[in-house]
Amino acid sequence: MIEEILPVDVMSAEAFGDDGDVHLFPEERAAIANAVPRRRREFSTVRQCARKALGELGIPPVPLLPGRQRAPQWPAGVVGSMTHCSGYRAAAVARASRLHSVGIDAEESVPLPEGLLDLVGLPAERDMVERLGAHDDAVPWDRLLFSCKEAVYKVWFPLTQRLLGFDGARIDIDSSGFFSARFLVPPPLAAGSPVPRLTGRWMHRDGLIVTAIALPCP
């Protein structure tokens, strides 16, 4: 599913359920020693996906530990992203020589809880969600907006090591399956050059919303 909206330079793997027999490195087990069972299952399965994707790059299994803000720490020379929601886990990786950063997100295909759109969306984004919903009510556009912002953040953070608020970038969603993000704060730098805008793709299928952004090297 996720591979359909990622470029060919990106290797990915996904799972629609949890395998109870996932190998974790001791360092990984220590990282979730105090986590609730659901979190341990998510953590384990998404790392199994990540190791499958890394294997497609010829990289042997290594511990994948959470770093700052719980962002995964990838092997040297690799960029990547992980995501999980109810019934879905996925990871995407690429060589750092091909991509500066990659961000993926998955969400259940349900509307945001009451009042959350006001916190997540800028006024222009809320208007966009209303317009899109008037033409197609099969997609929970508010949830898609949230997912786009999550994918943007996952591209942003490895480049900046800084948090990004929901008001830090404006999202424009195209109903054909594409979206863009324009930063409203000083943009991230990639190889010393500012990146004021990102473009990505989205998919709505089988009760899931998935979004993906890949920031290519020149």
Banded model confidence at residue 31, pLDDT cuts 50, 70, 90: very high
Rounded distance, CA 35 to CA 27, Å?
A: 14
Banded model confidence at residue 87, pLDDT cuts 50, 70, 90: very high
Residue (of 172, 166, 163, 167) closest to 198 by Cα position: 172
Q: What is the pLDDT of residue 36?
A: 96
Q: What is the pLDDT of residue 27?
A: 97
Q: What is the pLDDT of residue 174?
A: 97
pLDDT, one tens digit per residue, over 95-142 is 999 999 999 999 999 999 999 999 999 999 999 999 999 999 999 999
pTM of the predicted model as reported, rounded to 2 decimal places = 0.96
**204 CB-near residues (< 8 Å, 6+ apart):** 109, 138, 139, 144
Q: What is the pLDDT of residue 186?
A: 98
pLDDT, one tens digit per residue, over 150-206 is 999 999 999 999 999 999 999 999 999 999 999 999 999 999 999 999 999 999 999
Banded model confidence at residue 19, pLDDT cuts 50, 70, 90: confident
Query: What domains can be seen in the chain, in order of their start residue?
Result: 1-218 (3.90.470.20)
Q: What is the pLDDT of residue 185?
A: 98
Banded model confidence at residue 11, pLDDT cuts 50, 70, 90: very high
